[in-house]
Amino acid sequence: MPKNDMKKILITGAVGQIGSELTLALRKKYGKENVIACGRKTKPSDGLLKSGPFEYIDITNRETVEQVVKEYDIDTIYNMAAILSATGEEKPLLCWNVNINGLYNIIEIAHEYNMTRVFVPSSIAVFGPETPRINTPQETILKPKTMYGVTKVAGELLGDYYFKKFGIDVRGLRYPGIISSETLPGGGTTDYAVNIFYEAIKNKKYTCFVKKDTILPMMYMPDCIKATMDIMEADISKLKHHCDFNISSMSFSAGELADEIKKHIPDFKCDYKPDFRQAIADSWPQSIDDTAAKNEWGWKPFYDLQSMTKDMLEKLGKRNKEGKL
């Protein structure tokens, strides 16, 4: 029978794009000593280090995770460590090892230590060219053509299997591209939607690695954090899905994003030189139907293209003035 208390939280990938902001949000909610941030190699920022405990672990090495779980009496894991889609195409074996063998270690440890809950992120990368691309349904064809997508489909199935078979309360969301101002993403196909802001502010020009008319679903970080914390607190008796919730907030083309930035920085120039990531983007949906998330746990995003762009430019502009960009 799934338990309810989330008192001692371990977060893997805590130095990454989502992990770094999620850690601070979780510390605010659950107390700074109760959220153990973990990374593999990258040095954490001072802000992250000063805000609570930090440990080095490698999720592909089970013992390193178990040690921290025992030391801090962990009952909840957010497994944010992953290799993203573009790096995954360059290093498919590494992608499989981290995203599948690493995830397997995390879920097995959660089972063995009778944990309350595990969060396992999924992605729009679970879809592929055979999937309907507009308003992609919750239940649909999952035949991704990237190694990252393959690992994300398997991860959803593994989480659902452990829930059904062993009662381990694993939950997950299919994140769209995440746009954020604190930590840069690394190795993803949707990274252009973050890089464009930094370059617009620093150099007033950007060369985008997907075509101008490439439309993808995106989400601003505050909504991503809200969705992640909300699904983990949702009443389990209302959930029909567990590890595979579609979530949506905004969709736009690379050209529309550049135009929106131009409204604030009129001399900003964007040109387009598609590379291998274009094929990945073309295999993903343009927009997502998230009715199940709305109905089962009340999902509702706040930001749209206009409000996200304004906020990003304000935040990055301020950091640039302070010489910290």
Give the residues lining the site for ligand SER (CB under 6 A): 84-85, 123, 125, 148, 175, 177, 188-190
Distance, in Å, from the CA atom of 71 to the CA atom of 77, rounded to the nearest integer, reads: 14
Active-site residue (options: 30, 72, 148, 198): 148
Least distance from C-beta 148 to ligand SER, angstroms?
Answer: 6
- Render the burial of 69-81: b for 16+ CB within 10 Å, e for the rest: beebebbbbbbbb
CB of 250 to ligand SER, least distance (A): 14
| Residue closer to ligand SER (CB basis): 166 or 276 | 276
SS3 68: helix
Q: Which residue has the CB atom at the shortest distance from ligand SER?
A: 188
Nearer to ligand SER, 19 or 177 (CB): 177
Query: CB 210 → ligand SER: shortest distance, Å?
Result: 11
Q: How far is CA 38 from CA 16, 117, 318, in A?
A: 10, 17, 29
- Between residues 44 and 185, which has the closer beta carbon with respect to ligand SER? 185
Q: How far is the CB of 281 from ligand SER (least distance, A)?
A: 8
CB 179 within 8 A of CB 160: no
Residue holding tokens 């073309």?
A: 282
Q: How far is the CB of 154 from ligand SER (least distance, A)?
A: 15
Q: Is 220 a catalytic residue?
A: no
Smallest distance, ligand SER to C-beta of residue 298, A: 23
Cβ–Cβ under 8 Å, residues 18 and 80: yes
DSSP code for 288:
B
Bridge partners of residue 138, in order along the sequence:
none
What span, in angstroms and rounded, lies between the C-alpha atoms of 62 and 70?
12
Which of 39/149 has CB closer to ligand SER? Answer: 149
Nearest to 181, CA basis, from 88, 303, 27: 303
Decide: 79 and 12 in contact? Cβ < 8 Å: yes
* Nearest-angstrom CA–CA distance, 177 and 147: 17
Say how far apart CA 277 and CA 14 lie, in whole Å: 25
Residue indicated by tokens 């949707």: 190
34 vs 190 by CB, closer to ligand SER:
190
Question: Residue 188, CB half-sphere, CA atoms under 13 Å: how many?
Answer: 24
Q: Which is nearer to ligand SER, 109 or 179 (CB)?
A: 179
The residues that are catalytic are: 148
